[in-house]
Amino acid sequence: MKKKTYLLLLLTLVTIAGCAQSHRKERLTEQQTGINNSMQYNTLTPEEERVILHRGTERPFTGEYLENREAGTYLCKRCDAPLYRSEDKFDSHCGWPSFDDEIKGAVKRIRDADGQRTEIVCNNCGAHLGHVFLNEGLTSKQTRHCVNSISMKFVPAQSPQSATPQKESLTTVYFASGCFWGTEYFFMKAPGVKQTSVGFMGGHAENPTYEQVCRKNTGHLETTEVVFDPAATTYEELVKLFFETHDFTQTDGQGPDIGSQYRSCIFYSDSAEKATAEKYMDLLTKKGYRVATLLKPVSVFWKAENYHQQYYEHKGTKPYCHKYTPVFDD
Ligand SMILES: [Zn+2]
């Protein structure tokens, strides 16, 4: 009982402190909701509080959702009320996410004290969102809700196959191990791999064709793009599979395919991937192998012509150039 009283006192003190800092907002909140139950709202970080409760502004061109073009809904960071739809988002080049419409009844407009600008707040909880500007000629609705990213929470639209993981939770990595038909054959069958494509990486020509790469004057390597779900497999597993499905000691090509475009190479996207690749190269060297695999930073991936994609799968045969040979079995 005592504890409860103490908590109540604390709550009251917090509420009073909040009011002192932002009189108008807390009054509005009470008006709008009828109750001042701010403790039921989402917990905010100090930076979120600065913008949402104390009507601050995030630095332009820094917000999380400025460039977001995904379909979905933007909710209030404080109370989760839906505020804006992705269909109403447009690129205003002002440095903050811009919408030319709101979800009906979700946003309240308040004229600034100086009469210069019109503040917009969440109609449910009073959270500060930004400002609204009219008649700028940017869209047919002549309205620009200029909203701080930090005041919102984006929820992507549910795809029809809601069981498939969201794109941003997938990781894309690149391996070259000779003829890409054979490389892709093994990666597309690996557990946790969602998608594969074959193409070219590491050269200097723009949009090279298969023929150009074969003539060996573009510098590209036949490369397989592997998109995997990190919840279902790891980069380590894929690196192991890479080494176990080709001859990583061959320097002039791969198997019967001779030429620089068939060289063994891991293209890394960050220092973690590089470290993982190096770890397994060291391990193989310690096992006595002379590792010929190159280690290069990721560059532009040029997708190859359609008839190269999932080649063996469409043909219904097995690769001549790649086979599975375990080397990490101990
Ligand atoms: Zn709200």
Task: State the first-to-last Cα distance of the chain, in angstroms, to the nearest integer.
Answer: 61
Percent of the chain whose predicted confidence (pLDDT) is above 90: 67
146 is catalytic: yes
- pLDDT at residue 105, as a whole number: 93
CA distance 229 to 235: 10
> For 167-315, CATH number?
3.30.1060.10
Please, which residues bridge with residue 130 across strands? Answer: 120, 147
**How far does the centroid of ligand 1 lie from the alpha carbon of residue 118, in Å?**
18
Report which residue type is found at 307: Y
- pLDDT at residue 29, as a whole number: 44
Question: Domains of the chain: which residue ranges?
Answer: 42-156, 167-315
**How far does the centroid of ligand 1 lie from the alpha carbon of residue 126, in Å?**
6
Q: Do domains 42-156 and 167-315 have the same CATH topology?
A: no
**How far does the centroid of ligand 1 lie from the alpha carbon of residue 80, in Å?**
6
Q: What CATH class has 42-156?
A: mainly beta
- pLDDT at residue 18, as a whole number: 36
Per DSSP, 174 falls in state: E
For the chain, which ranges sit under pLDDT 70? 1-39, 159-168, 330
CA distance 216 to 224: 18
**How far does the centroid of ligand 1 lie from the alpha carbon of residue 149, in Å?**
14
- pLDDT at residue 113, as a whole number: 79
Choosing from 179, 214, 265, 321, which is the catalytic residue? 179
Q: What is the pTM of this model?
A: 0.51
Find where tokens 């080397």 sit: 327
